[in-house]
Amino acid sequence: MSQNAIRFEHVDVIFGQNAPRAVSMLDQGQGRDAILDKTGCLVAVHDASVFVNEGEILVLMGLSGSGKSSLLRCVNGLNTVTRGKVIVHDGNREVDVARCEPETLRRLRRNRISMVFQQFGLMPWLTVRDNIGFGLDVRGMDRAERDRIVEEKIKLVRLDKFADKFSHELSGGMQQRVGLARAFATEADILLMDEPFSALDPLIREHLQDELIELQQKLKKTIVFVSHDLDEALKIGSRIAIMESGRVVQFGVPEEIILNPVNDYVRQFVASMNPLTVLKGGTLMRPVADLAREPGGTTIQLDRAGKCRCQLDARGKPVNLIVNGKPGEMVPYATDLDLAKLPDHAMVCGTDRTPMRAAVTVRSQTKRPLVLLGDDGELLGVVGEHEIYRGMLRQSEYARVNGAQPM
Amino acid sequence: MEGLEQVITQHKIEIGRGAKVVVDWLTSNFEWLFDGITYGLRVPIEGTVDLLLAIPSLAFVGICAAIAFLLQRSWKLVAFVILGLLLILNLGLWKDMVETVVLILYATFVSLSIGIPIGIICSRRPWLYRLLSPILDMMQTIPTFVYLVPTLIFFGLGLVPGIIATVIFAVPAPIRLTYLGISQVPTALVEAGESFGCTRWQLLWRVKLPAALPTIMAGVNQCIMLSLSMVVIAALVGAGGLGRPVVRSLGQANVPLGVESGLAIVIVAIILDRLLKRRATQRAGAGQV
């Protein structure tokens, strides 16, 4: 699984007539503005080296004009790579998209890479059904097979009732779901998403992000996602590359970006993020090793007051849970869980990906911490009052450094 | 100064004679081609006229009304078609009307089959369009009578020179609007097409042409209207149709005939225009992408 699906190696993208001169000026260490003045060429991306493994989501993040879209569009050849390599893993060989034959590129576009656009890019004269089938029709797939796949994808994005509508009859969120289904329909394992949710209003955007995460758990695509929103990047990204003026300034997993921003540019992004949705239980928690244990005993205290206690079995699963003096019960966290109706011997459990917002809600409604369990049910740690405060303080720390208002 | 003026006036550049030499050369060397075109156009046109005249006129009115309803779903238009055609029948201009409609249909068909492909080629090669643009302007501004003379020499009297003159006048519309429509296709759609692996042909057929269709259809409509405006000119070279009574009324200062045939041309124009307009519901969607 951990094979590079796409690898960018020292990619330069330069727009304009006089690219060779611009390249040599770049090598002399001249800046973008000087190059634009002298040659009329725009250096969109300079020396970008990042990668994404199969089944992961890479988010290219930055302000507008930072080159994130330009870099993304190299993968399917919508932009031409001026220098460097864009290696796409294709079956058991590797293809350099920057230098491959037009037929190879077309084959990749038809079978291996599909794309979702910011402005949806739906054909206004086609119905939802035919838009979704577009990539299959281009491929020349036979009718029955195509109809079967289209039907399946329409259900996947829950637009079955709108199959015969035209795109202008749908809301923005629905149009982008059509865009997603169209991209899924070709069964390509690489999905390029160019600010797919930016044109939508915030509520719909969150909703579609959740849907994408849910779909991704089922489909396990390799996704390169462009975003200007760190909250979005942290929420969906397995890896994040932060870009500034055409360069990748930081490339790493979300925790690394939050904990060790490399410069002020990144720090500003971090300062303006929303910790409630961005910080995950795994980052916040007090790990099981740091939890208080009863002297000489095997019993672990899950909260400070020691009202919630448990023991661990051989595989680290919590057993013999005692809450408020009664045998306790674990209730998995869900957004629609009615916390007020929980009995007072119940504890809510989540995973290391449960957002801080959930921990805050659980804590304030039940007065007990959120318990985090691993994939096999083993105890990872807890998120209580102190962990929540710590998360928020870290946030305000960044805000203070940058002179911004604490959130 | 006077000397210079003399030099200029006394050494006339022989543009006209040059043109005549070209025309003569074409006539003597390409007679077979012009005869071929004349024959190739006359036979189907006359056949179509005979065919349409063989239909009883009331049945013809009914068929037109049915087409109007199928295309536009509008009872108002159906009523107009029926009343308008019955009026033309009543005025005794039925045969002329049929001839005019056939003339327009063939002229439009020829214009479109030349114009749309040229428009498509232009959209791929903008330099070609820059080259063609002044020529297209010229085709629409040169007084028709000027090119009517060589057309007559090449094709003789009758329907065919009428159609050729009409095509020269009408073909710039589909060229321009096809070019415009395709160059205005949103980049987002073209990129969506490319990103799913369209070949150049697929991009044209699956993305660009359908996206440009509203504009191209506007070109078709314009083309028909321009052809209609050539009806009278075409009648001058013996093309027949509703232009003939107009020309005759001009020669005889015949006011009643002039008014009646003019009215018939207007009715045909309105019917054709309304038939080919995009339906209101379709238009609502066309603006958005």
pLDDT tier at A397 (50, 70, 90 boundaries)?
low
Measured distance CA(A305)–CA(A324) in Å, rounded: 10
Q: What is the mean pLDDT of chain A?
A: 87
Residues in Cβ contact with A302 at an 8 Å cutoff, skipping those fewer than 6 apart? A291, A308, A309, A310, A347, A368, A369, A371, A382
Strand partners, A192: A115, A224
Ramachandran area for residue B241 (φ above 0: left; ψ -120 to 50: alpha; else beta): left
Say which residue, A199 or B121, is predicted with more confidence. Answer: B121
Measured distance CA(A174)–CA(A201) in Å, rounded: 12
Measured distance CA(A5)–CA(A10) in Å, rounded: 16
DSSP SS3 for B287:
coil
Residue A396: how many other CB atoms lie within 10 Å: 15
How many Å lie between the alpha carbon of B67 and the closest alpha carbon of chain A? 23
Residues of B in contact with A124 (CB under 8 A): 211, 285-286, 288-289
How many Å lie between the alpha carbon of B190 and the closest alpha carbon of chain A? 9
Residue A355's pLDDT is 83
Measured distance CA(A153)–CA(A182) in Å, rounded: 8
Show the tokens assigned to A50: 């990042």
Measured distance CA(B238)–CA(B231) in Å, rounded: 11
For A124, which of B191, B194, B289 is closest by C-beta distance? B289
User: Is B210 in contact with A123 (Cβ distance < 8 A)?
Assistant: yes
Measured distance CA(A59)–CA(A257) in Å, rounded: 12
Residue A398's pLDDT is 47
- Interface check for B35 against chain A (CB to CB < 8 A): the answer is no
Residue A1's pLDDT is 43
Residues of B in contact with A106 (CB under 8 A): 197, 199
Residue B284 has pLDDT above 50, yes or no: no
Report which DSSP code applies to B30: S
Give residue B110's Cα distance to chain centre: 8
Above pLDDT 90, what percent of chain B? 61
For A123, which of B189, B195, B202 is closest by C-beta distance? B189
Q: Scanning every residue of chain A, which has its alpha carbon at the shortest distance from the alpha carbon of B187?
A: A121
pLDDT digits (tens, 9 = 90+) for B112-146: 999 999 999 999 999 999 999 999 999 888 888 88
Residue A290's pLDDT is 83
Residue A405 has pLDDT above 60, yes or no: no
Please, what is the Cα angle at B123 between B120 and B125, to 5 degrees? 110
User: Which of A100, A107, A168 is the best residue to mutate to test the B interface, defined by the most B CB atoms within 10 Å of its own CB?
Assistant: A168
pLDDT digits (tens, 9 = 90+) for B7-37: 888 888 888 888 889 888 988 888 888 889 8
Measured distance CA(A182)–CA(A175) in Å, rounded: 11
Do A350 and A281 meet the contact criterion of CB atoms below 8 Å apart?
yes
pLDDT digits (tens, 9 = 90+) for B201-256: 999 999 999 999 999 999 999 999 999 988 888 888 888 889 999 999 988 999 99
Residues in Cβ contact with A177 at an 8 Å cutoff, skipping those fewer than 6 apart? A157, A158, A159, A208, A211
For A109, which of B189, B195, B286 is closest by C-beta distance? B195
Task: Find the chain A residues whose C-beta atoms sit closer than 8 A to any C-beta of B.
Answer: 76-78, 106-111, 113-115, 117, 119-125, 134-135, 137-139, 166-169, 182, 186, 192
Residue A44's pLDDT is 93
- Interface check for B272 against chain A (CB to CB < 8 A): the answer is no
CA dist B146 → B93, B139, B152 (Å): 29, 11, 11
* Closest to A371 measured CA to CA, from A295, A297, A316: A316
DSSP SS3 for A193:
strand
Residue A395's pLDDT is 56
* Closest to B245 measured CA to CA, from B254, B42, B237: B254
A100-106 long-range CB contacts below 8 Å, 24 or more apart? Answer: A105/A76, A105/A77, A106/B197, A106/B199
Do B227 and B106 meet the contact criterion of CB atoms below 8 Å apart?
no
Residue A170 has pLDDT above 90, yes or no: yes
DSSP SS3 for B249:
helix
How many A/B residue pairs have CB atoms within 8 Å? Answer: 69
> Averaged over A6-23, what is the pLDDT?
91
* Closest to A360 measured CA to CA, from A332, A392, A328: A392
Do B244 and B235 meet the contact criterion of CB atoms below 8 Å apart?
yes
Residue A306's pLDDT is 80
Residue B215's pLDDT is 93
User: Which of B185, B189, B196, B279 is the best residue to mutate to test the A interface, defined by the most A CB atoms within 10 Å of its own CB?
Assistant: B196
Do A59 and A233 meet the contact criterion of CB atoms below 8 Å apart?
yes
pLDDT tier at B106 (50, 70, 90 boundaries)?
very high
Residues of B in contact with A78 (CB under 8 A): 191, 194-195
- Interface check for B185 against chain A (CB to CB < 8 A): the answer is no
Do A131 and A94 meet the contact criterion of CB atoms below 8 Å apart?
no
Do B156 and B259 meet the contact criterion of CB atoms below 8 Å apart?
no
Show the tokens assigned to B45: 């046109």
Residue B258's pLDDT is 92
Residue B279 has pLDDT above 80, yes or no: no
Residues of A in contact with B286 (CB under 8 A): 124
For A125, which of B195, B198, B210 is closest by C-beta distance? B210
For B285, which of A76, A139, A166 is closest by C-beta distance? A166
* Closest to A175 measured CA to CA, from A188, A193, A162, A189: A162
pLDDT tier at B285 (50, 70, 90 boundaries)?
very low
How many Å lie between the alpha carbon of A57 and the closest alpha carbon of chain B? 20
Do A384 and A286 meet the contact criterion of CB atoms below 8 Å apart?
yes
Residues in Cβ contact with A84 at an 8 Å cutoff, skipping those fewer than 6 apart? A8, A9, A10, A11, A12, A47, A48, A98
pLDDT tier at A336 (50, 70, 90 boundaries)?
confident
Report which DSSP code applies to A342: S
Q: Scanning every residue of chain A, which has its alpha carbon at the shortest distance from the alpha carbon of B207?
A: A123
Residue A184's pLDDT is 92
Residue A192 has pLDDT above 90, yes or no: yes
Please, what is the Cα angle at B74 between B68 and B76, to 5 degrees? 95
How many Å lie between the alpha carbon of B282 and the closest alpha carbon of chain A? 10
Measured distance CA(A275)–CA(A390) in Å, rounded: 11
User: Is A76 in contact with B198 (Cβ distance < 8 A)?
Assistant: no
Measured distance CA(A213)–CA(A57) in Å, rounded: 10
Residue A286's pLDDT is 85
- Interface check for B207 against chain A (CB to CB < 8 A): the answer is yes
What's the burial of B134, exposed, middle or buried (CB within 10 Å: 0-12/13-18/19+)? exposed
pTM of the model: 0.77
pLDDT digits (tens, 9 = 90+) for B50-72: 999 999 999 999 999 999 999 88
> Averaged over A36-43, what is the pLDDT?
90
Residue B261 has pLDDT above 90, yes or no: yes
CA dist B269 → A104, A335, B83, B230, B246 (Å): 53, 65, 14, 12, 15
Measured distance CA(A366)–CA(A248) in Å, rounded: 44
Residue B243: how many other CB atoms lie within 10 Å: 25
Above pLDDT 70, what percent of chain B? 96
Measured distance CA(A257)–CA(A234) in Å, rounded: 9
pLDDT tier at A113 (50, 70, 90 boundaries)?
very high
> Averaged over B72-97, what is the pLDDT?
93
Measured distance CA(A226)–CA(A247) in Å, rounded: 15
One-letter amino acid of A405: Q
User: Is A107 in contact with B202 (Cβ distance < 8 A)?
Assistant: no
